[in-house]
Structure 1
Amino acid sequence: MHRYPVGAVHAAAATLLLVSAAGVLAQGLSEARTALAFGALIAVGEAVRITLPGDREQAPIGAAGALAYALLGPLRGLPTDQGVLQVVAVTTIAGLLGLLPYAARRRAPQPDQIARRILTTGFAATLFQPLYNSGALDRITTRGAQYGLLLAAVAVLAALCDVVLAAALHSARTGRRFGPALRDELRALLGIGSAIAATGLVISLGAGEVGLWALPVFSAPLLLTQLSFRRYSATSTTHRQSVASLARATEVAGYTLPGHSRRVAALSRAVGRRLGMREHDLLLLECAALMHDIGQLSLVEPVPGGATALLPQAEQRRIARLGSEVIRHTGVPPEVAGFVERQAEPYRTPDGARDPGLPPASRIIRAANAYDDLVSGDPGLAGRLEALERLRLDTGREYDPRVVEALALVCAGGCPRGTRR
């Protein structure tokens, strides 16, 4: 796991903030009323953050307000001169004030998110403010289509800057390849991200016509969108909690060891992330891993320690098939049942051929389940190393080599959340 990109991004954001704050202190605050209005909007937006599926935290109104201030040209027909340093200082300080309630509850966002906001806002302001304040845009009417297209181009570039930063930080922290991480961030941009960029653009243009009234008026649609995302996120969270509760049935009935399903799910998600799976596929994988042992409830006598990896191949397949039949009646996506049903199939068939139709999720669950079964008797370092060695000995026949190596890298980097015993 490479921390250097993380440190470089944080250092760049901290340096930009310090320089901006020093610049504002030295030169004074220009147009304080406008700065306070945008600062209030950003602070309120940060205070009503939402958590999207995949544990993505977002402050749509705060981000749109910061972008609008960075792109602010005329205000009710009159020129402004806030400049890059003031934009960065005002938006960052306002954002931090909005985060105080979360800090009091020890739920403050990660430093990565704050650093991204500082750098993205500074990038947008650097692209626009010098051009506007120098008079280079005088040839483009501030009420024409050309001016709107210019603002839209800057907003798009700022959004892409944030996407690249998010992917780089995510890749550095998790060890995931940059390409898949970037694709996930681009897909997320098409959702709430596009609404943020559009709202910031509209607020900036609206302020040029109607003044500061544009802030609450044009933020209202984004607020409604945010409420819809919040409801969707709450529904997804409830669904995941229901799946987790159902998965615990095997533990309550004594068929599996306490925490086994959660550990396998956490390992599977970490391995899938390292292999470059999309966020949507990771959610399906996690769901299948949580319920991978449901079929054990059909057994008359529990398997010792719930270790299905040590059972004969035919018995493993029977349990997997029965579990998939139960899952098909739970309302989860049909792919989840398919992943569980095929988790008992080895990487290669008896004639040595590799089954190209075997889902990657099934291969991951098979290896993660076997690993947790093997270390159940000895969770110490020696037991974990022995379990990995046994998996490697069966690599290419029972287990996918890429999955086993990814699992080894995940374990070498420390247990993912939910796997500690």
Structure 2
Amino acid sequence: MITTLGSPLKEDPKRPAQAKSRIDPARSFVIVAAVTCGGGSLLWTLFTGFVEPDAALAFGVLIAVGELARITLPGNREVAPIASAGAIGYTFLLDVGGEPVHHSAWQVIAVVAVGIALGELPHIAVGRGPRWSDLARRGLVIVLVALAFRPVAARVSPDSQHWWIGLCVMASLVMLAWLVDSVLAAAIRAERLRTRLSVAIRDESRAQFALGMAIGSSGILIALASTVTGLAGLLVFTAPLLVTQVAFRRYAEIRLTYLQTVRSLSRVTEVGGYVETGHSRRVSHLAQAVGCEMGMRESELLALEYASLMHDIGQLSLRSPIASGATVLASPREQRRIAELGSAVIRETGVLDSVAELVRRQCESWQGDGDDGRPPLGSRIIKVANAFDDLVGASTNPDRIEAVLQRLRMDTGHEYDPTVVDAMARVLDRPAARW
């Protein structure tokens, strides 16, 4: 049986019930590992007792406040910079105001777990539950850093002649933490979007590098400053990270508003009766699924989403709508005219030239019609996804879906990219995934 990935096709009621859910091994492993380590460390610390409770309380409160102020970045990435910096600072803490501290790695993990839990309670109470995989990753990274650093903390005292060794160890562990976090996030992303792990690792590394280094360096500064200023240093060195977090939050809000604007603009053709209701959304979801299947990068997927949402906007220039809005049934000349007019409208924004190019070349044959060579992969994907939805629409009939796939395969010699058609067939032939 055939279903689409977030597309117009609903799951076949005859499909076995177990196919409706999917277990993601990487996501499950990260969550179980984080819960086990956090719960076990808390029980052990309660049994053996807390040491330096004032420092534990101060850092626990900072972590809770930071978790309460968590933000969601583009790419649906949930981060808590202040909480993460506080957790790293407590992990690297060597002394407070000249008094050495002796807390173990297990106490670090316990304090971080309690702080994260307290910070999440208000979110859960109002129905804004966290992304559990992101939450677990934040905790699990601290587990690894604490287990690596705390056993050797006494040997890297800031008062020793070899203090720089301790600083190098801290910096190395921050880099290691960033790498581990990027790999874990990439594994979860690859499972969720059904994309290639190598592509996901590259996307996550780029997306998290700047913020990860800011968090790590802030955590090191907090730990070293506490040697001189005591616990008052928490407030002083958390302020720069708070400013950074505000900037990231505004950037995320701008990106979200931009996407919402594009989605609203894509509905103009539906409201005007030029295309069927839901056509642009269905084409967009299917195109993104195919893009993930073919290993497109995150930036390319974003441009593909914008282009597929607005691929039919050129129809607004038509004197009378095409029957059912199916551009696949229009003449090649009319298809090209619609694509070029849509591209011209998009170029007027001044910031979506790459998206406009994808829209402009969506009607060309997959091998190219002129001197520009083969159309971009995004254009070839939109061409296939649009043709499929034009011919299938909201139908859930598997025979009709299979017939349309066969029709597209028959036209792969000239019109449609055979690799794109094959990728779409694989997407359609698996249970609906989560987006």
Q: TM-score, structure 2 length as denominator?
A: 0.89
Letter aligned with residue 386 of structure 1: A
Residue equivalent to 1:256: 275
Q: TM-score, normalised by structure 1?
A: 0.92
Equivalent residues in 2 for 1:118-267, closer than 5 Å? 118-132=139-153, 135-137=154-156, 141=160, 144-267=163-286
1:81 matched to 2:105: no
Q: Give the AA of the match of 2:148.
A: L
Distance in structure 1 (CA, Å) of the matches to 2:368 and 2:298:
30
Give the Cα–Cα distance (whole angstroms) in 1 for the partners of residues 115 and 239 of structure 2. 19
Aligned to 1:413: 430
Q: Is the 8 A contact 1:45 1:62 kept in 2?
A: yes
CA distance in 2, matches of 1:356, 1:88: 56
With over 3 angstroms needed to count, the CA separation of the structure-2 counterparts of 1:271 and 1:208, relative to structure 1, is farther
2:193–2:434: 8 Å Cα contact kept in structure 1? no
2:53 and 2:158 map into 1 onto residues whose CA distance is: 28
Distance 2:412 2:90 in 1: 56
CA-CA distance at 1:307 after TM superposition: 1.0
Given residue 40 of structure 1, which amino acid in structure 2 is its aligned partner? V
Aligned amino acid, residue 389 of structure 1: Q
- 2:74 — aligned with what? 53
Preserved contact between residue 274 and residue 325 of structure 2 (Cα < 8 Å): yes
| Distance in structure 1 (CA, Å) of the matches to 2:156 and 2:56 | 22
Give, in angstroms, the shift of residue 94 of structure 1: 0.9
How far does residue 342 in structure 1 lie from its aligned partner after superposition? Answer: 0.3
1:318 alignment partner, one of 329, 337, 357: 337
- The answer to whether the aligner puts 1:23 opposite 2:40 as a matched pair is no
Where do 1:66-77 residues align within 5 Å? 66-77=87-98
Q: How does 1:372-387 map to 2 (within 5 A)?
A: 372-376=389-393, 378-387=395-404
Alpha-carbon shift at residue 415 of structure 1 (Å): 4.4
Matched to 2:136, the amino acid is A
* Contact persistence 2:346–2:352 (CA under 8 A): no
Deviation at 1:143, TM superposition (A): 8.2
Distance 1:332 1:417 in 2: 30
- 1:5-36 Cα distance to aligned partner (Å, 9 max, x none): 23222232222123212211211122211111
Specify which structure has the bigger relative contact order, considering alpha-carbon pairs within 8 angstroms and separated by 6 or more residues: 2
Q: Does 1:394 align with 2:415?
A: no
Q: Which moved more, 1:324-333 or 1:406-415?
A: 406-415
Q: Look up the equivalent residue of 1:370 and give its one-letter code.
A: A
Query: Match for 2:315 among 296, 302, 310?
Result: 296
State the distance in 1 between where 2:241 and 2:161 align.
24
Q: Which amino acid aligns with 1:410?
A: V
2:382 aligned with 1:361: no
Aligned with residue 327 of structure 2, among 304, 308, 313: 308
Partner Cα separation in structure 2 for residue 36 and residue 382 of structure 1: 63
Query: Contact 1:347 / 1:354 at 8 angstroms: preserved in 2?
Result: no
| Aligned residue among 94, 97, 103 for 2:124 | 103
Q: Aligned equivalents of 1:377 and 1:269: distance in 2?
A: 18
Q: Distance in 1 between matches of 2:193 and 2:206?
A: 19
Please state whether the residue corresponding to 2:96 is helix, strand or coil.
Answer: coil
Contact 2:158 2:166 in 1 (8 A): no
SS of residue matched to 1:51: strand
CA–CA separation in structure 1 for the residues paired with 2:388 and 2:161: 63
| Letter of the 1:106 counterpart | G
Deviations 1:86-135 (A, max 9, x none): 11111122112111222123221222112212210011101100111xx4
Q: 1:84 to 1:382 in 2, by over 3 A?
A: farther
| Counterpart-to-counterpart distance in 2, 1:229 and 1:410 | 34
Identity among equivalent positions (%) equals 46
Aligned residue number for residue 116 of structure 1: 137
Letter in 1 for 2:424: L
| Conserved 8 A contact 1:74-1:142 | no
Quickly say closer, same or farther: Cα 1:111–1:412, change in 2 above 3 A: farther
From 62, 73, 76, give the equivalent of 1:41: 62
Q: Cα 1:107–1:322, aligned 2, differ >3 Å: closer, same or farther?
A: same
Partner of 1:277: 296
Quote the Cα distance in structure 1 between the aligned partners of 2:414 and 2:371: 9
Bigger shift: residues 160-169 or 324-333:
324-333
RMSD of aligned alpha carbons: 2.2
The aligned amino acid for 1:43 is A
SS in 1 for 2:72: strand
* Further displaced range: 250-259 or 330-339: 330-339
Deviation (angstroms), 1:52: 1.3
Question: Do 1:155 and 1:197's aligned partners in 2 also have CA atoms closer than 8 Å?
Answer: yes
What are structure 2's unaligned runs of at least 5 residues? 1-21
Give the counterpart letter for 2:127 in structure 1. Answer: R
Going from structure 1 to structure 2, the CA distance change for 1:147 and 1:398 (only over 3 Å counts) comes to same
Confirm or deny that 1:337 pairs with 2:359.
Answer: no
Question: Could you say if the C-alpha distance between residues 142 and 196 of structure 1 is closer, same or farther in structure 2, counting changes exceeding 3 Å?
Answer: farther
Aligned-pair CA distance for 1:322: 0.9
Runs of 5+ unmatched residues, structure 1: none
Question: What secondary structure is seen at the aligned counterpart in 2 of 1:99?
Answer: helix
> Do 2:60 and 2:115's aligned partners in 1 also have CA atoms closer than 8 Å?
yes
Report the CA distance between 1:142 and its aligned residue. 8.0
How far apart are residue 191 of structure 1 and its match?
2.5
1:403 to 420, 423, 432: 420
